[in-house]
Structure 1
């Protein structure tokens, strides 16, 4: 914008940062410090704004979105981000906030809402996409057990839309999502028989694990082609 070379631009930005007008986020990235900040050198940007800026295109998802929509009482200090491009490393700390970034194809960046953090718009997965994501990748919701709690909270909330869940699951195109969704919904009686059968009609062949990051122990629920390898869930299994 100023028509100066890279070296001079870097020195200018460094000087503004030293003077407290800018804050350095990481090498080559600076943000403006509000004039009302009492301690400019200590000022930190909203982590969601950092996520929207540094890891675009993408959205805040997983456990962070579950917190936003009121689907969990747990407090996660790490921000979970879904990005439509490769981000390395996938675990980063920026301005004292830890981020976990999962890379997905850009075409799968659907089902988001724009929320305002101050004057900055940030994309977050909507309630239905949040549920589909934590069923697709249970680790994004804090594990399968917590994902089941998120699902139960969703079905008890004002956001519940069973048809919307099916639509998003179809759009994502992963049969494993319907195995976990149908099994958990049927196990807790969250939805009617039509919804359960709609999930069953969409499951794929082969045995999947309800918790993919755990060893393949536990019993197989043949009705859902699902191995329940989480003790707390297996203790209340349906009869296959």
Structure 2
């Protein structure tokens, strides 16, 4: 087997160490500690292993083990949520990606939405063919998440109520207000509906426009939630807010909710 794969005894031992003690994704520094080599030597070994197809390079300085026998090692991909958890931490998967996870939408998005407390030069980053859309948040805003396990890696995703607050706070993270209205309707028709929790999260969020958007969507969609509608109306701010800031259309003014309705929401 060794001869067939072209792996000598030393290389196999080093690869075994990486497979046994490495994380799903590991950096050069991680590998250096695992293999007991200098960072310089480790960098050379990892580059060699990647060229031979025994490792896959996720991005500069970050690698993943490739199962022996993989037909196209260079095309081997790690789960995008695991990649996000490693590269953008502290972070959580949210927005439309969380809505997909909680089954609040049937729409398939090709990109992963990530809320991160780390600064990145670009808002859109593509890794291993997957596009990640980033939104910068303060560390204390990384709350109300659920831990899910993917291939023995714990990943954070916004919980159902937090997902609703996030997409109402900034409709763009939910794919636009039309799609956000679908997400809201599906949340209220799901087992995850929690009126008290949702109102508490909105209060913590401290953006009164969320009350306006939620109240408007609930009423126009004829969703049975009188107490929430009452609470939303009680907390709206003076002055008009835009239903969807990403849409340039001026739209009409809704006096009840102090909203400039610049997008059509399905009833």
Residue 21 (structure 2) aligns with: none
Check if 1:143 corresponds to 2:179. no
Cα distance in 1 between the residues matched to 2:112 and 2:137: 17
Residue 25 (structure 1) aligns with: 58
Check if 1:65 corresponds to 2:98. yes
Residue by residue over 1:40-69, the C-alpha shift from the partner in whole angstroms, topping out at 9 and shown as x without a partner, is 222100111111111111111111111111
Residue by residue over 1:144-196, the C-alpha shift from the partner in whole angstroms, topping out at 9 and shown as x without a partner, is 01000100000111111111110111111111111101111122221332211
Change (3 A) 1:36 1:109: farther
> Does the 8 A contact of 1:63 with 1:80 survive in 2?
yes
Cα distance in 2 between the residues matched to 1:36 and 1:207: 61
Aligned length: 234
> Does the 8 A contact of 1:111 with 1:125 survive in 2?
yes
Residue 184 (structure 1) aligns with: 217
Residue 29 (structure 2) aligns with: none
- Please tell me the root mean square deviation across aligned C-alpha atoms, in Å: 1.6
Residue by residue over 1:63-111, the C-alpha shift from the partner in whole angstroms, topping out at 9 and shown as x without a partner, is 1111111111111011111111212211011001111111111111111
Equivalent of 1:160, from 190, 193, 196? 193
Change (3 A) 1:169 1:36: farther
Q: Secondary structure at the match of 1:223?
A: coil
Cα distance in 1 between the residues matched to 2:224 and 2:204: 21
Residue 109 (structure 1) aligns with: 142
> Does the 8 A contact of 1:48 with 1:60 survive in 2?
yes
Cα distance in 1 between the residues matched to 2:44 and 2:96: 39
After the TM superposition, which residues 1-240 of structure 1 pair with which residues of structure 2 at under 5 Å, given as runs? 1=33, 4-35=37-68, 37-215=70-248, 217-230=250-263, 232-233=264-265
Q: Which runs of 5 or more residues in structure 1 are unaligned?
A: none
TM-score (norm 2): 0.83
Larger Rg: 2
Q: Which runs of 5 or more residues in structure 2 are unaligned?
A: 1-32
